[in-house]
Amino acid sequence: MDPERTCPICTMPEPLVAADGFECATCGHEWFDDDDGVGEVRDTNGTVLAAGDDVVIVKDLKLDGKVGGIKIGTKVKAIRLVPGDHPIQGKVDGRTVVITSDKVKKA
């Protein structure tokens, strides 16, 4: 086990080491260490974002069509970068959300 690694889904420390990557003993998520497939992620100002950065929302976002959503100026702390068309993952009011990079700026 590697104590410096955490599961990208549930953030539990000390994942199990598998032959081709890692596996979380808590949620069962499997991931590879070598290539995360994220690439370079830039905010609305062109600043390169990294995992662990704090970002601020620059445009109101709707969540699953529910009333409220995320308002402009909301700070998302300690983001994670994930592969896909919504490369930023973070928590807002205890709920995990994924966001496109053109909707945030580095705090």
pLDDT in tens, 86-97: 899 999 888 888
Sheet (strand 16-18) strand order? 16-18, 21-23, 30-31
State the pTM of this model.
0.63
Residue type at 1 in one-letter notation: M
Give residue 3's pLDDT band: very low, low, confident or very high (50, 70, 90): very low
* CA distance linking residue 27 with residue 7, whole number of Å: 9
Instruction: Report how far apart, in Å, the C-alpha atoms of 92 and of each of 15, 35, 43 are.
Output: 25, 27, 18
* CA distance linking residue 14 with residue 55, whole number of Å: 27
Class of 38-106 in CATH? mainly beta
Tell me the domain boundaries of the chain.
1-34, 38-106
